[in-house]
Amino acid sequence: MDYDIEFTESGPFDVVVTTSGKATAAEMAAGRRRVLDDPRFRPGMSLLVDHSLLDNSDITRAEVQRAAETLGRDRDTSGLGSIAMVAQTSLNFGLARMFETFAGEELEDAVTVVRSREEAEAWLESMHAAPQ
**Distinct helix (H) and strand (E) counts, the chain:** 4, 5
Indicate the angle between helix axes 61-78 and 25-37, nearest 10 degrees: 10
> Do the domain assignments include residue 130?
no
Show the domain range for 15.
Answer: 2-123
pTM over 0.85: yes
Dump pLDDT digits (tens) for 100-120. Answer: 898 888 788 889 999 999 999
Question: Residue 9: pLDDT above 80?
Answer: yes
Distance CA 80, CA 47 (A): 8
Question: Residue 95: pLDDT above 90?
Answer: yes
Q: How deeply is 47 buried, as exposed, middle or buried, from its count of CB atoms within 10 A (0-12, 13-18, 19+)? A: buried
> Do the domain assignments include residue 129?
no
Dump pLDDT digits (tens) for 61-90. Answer: 999 998 888 888 888 899 999 999 999 999
> Do the domain assignments include residue 72?
yes
Q: What is the pLDDT of residue 132?
A: 52
> Do the domain assignments include residue 131?
no
Distance CA 20, CA 112 (A): 20
Residue 113, amino acid: V
Q: What is the pLDDT of residue 72?
A: 81
Q: What is the CATH number of the domain that holds 116?
A: 3.30.750.24
Chain mean pLDDT for the chain: 91
Task: Please count the residues of the chain.
Answer: 132
> Do the domain assignments include residue 58?
yes
Q: How many distinct structural domains can be found in the chain?
A: 1
Question: Residue 59: pLDDT above 90?
Answer: yes
Q: What is the pLDDT of residue 39?
A: 97
